[in-house]
Chains A and B, each alone.
Chain A
């Protein structure tokens, strides 16, 4: 069945450094890839998404890249700040507009 693998499970960086989180998906029909940030006890918040017809998308310090051939997509956060500390989830959805398949999550810790 559909599967999304996410790595690493935990990531610790110094403030100002970059952070990269990687995901791979199994369903070649996937065409929509959102990323969510979830702070402890709160809702997952959509931070950026990318469609399958785009290779890269950037929004200020956040960027996402997509390699359809390899079925990889990655989240890049530059100039990290302590408030970036949270759990980040990647997800994939197929072209039938069905359910989101989530990765396992990455706990990002940004140390001041």
Chain B
């Protein structure tokens, strides 16, 4: 159980393109989803937290107009990198947490999306 599906797994596109990444919880309802960015050989850097039906909460230094997050349902959240540039190239990973279990609810990760901007 607790499967999180993320698509696409790999994106290569030209500078100035907007890219949408989808994150789905397949067998549970994810009241909260998280979006992370990970550089090679580094830890996971939280970009934003989204709760179903409300606006995302962005971490300090993350541009909300650059990284648009939508959490329209209990099983789907999307991250759109708008007008992507080479410096946005990275590994983006989503994570989801269900509503049962309260503060001890485990958090499960998607497979990640490797974004390369030329």
Contacts and interface: CB of A to CB of B under 8 A. Distances in A.
Interface residues of A, number: 26
Interface stretch (A13-21, A40-48, A57-65, A72-80): A40-48
Interface size class of B (residues with CB under 8 A): 20 to 34
Interface in A32-46: 32, 34, 36, 41-46
Contacts of B111: 42-43
Interface string A47-88: 001010000000000000000000000000000000000000
A34 B106 CA distance: 8
Given A99-B46, A102-B44, A51 B107 contact: no
Given A102-B44, A103-B43, A44 B106 contact: no
A46 B107 contact: yes
Contact of A97 (B42, B102, B110): B102
Nearest to A42: B111
B43 A102 contact: yes
Nearest to B4: A43
A89 B43 contact: yes
A51 B107 CA distance: 14
Given A42-B112, A43-B110, A44-B44, A99 B105 contact: no
A28 interface: no
Given A43-B93, A105-B42, A96 B103 contact: yes
16 contacts: A34-B107, A41-B114, A42-B112, A43-B4, A43-B93, A43-B109, A43-B111, A44-B109, A51-B104, A89-B43, A95-B103, A98-B49, A100-B34, A103-B43, A105-B42, A107-B41
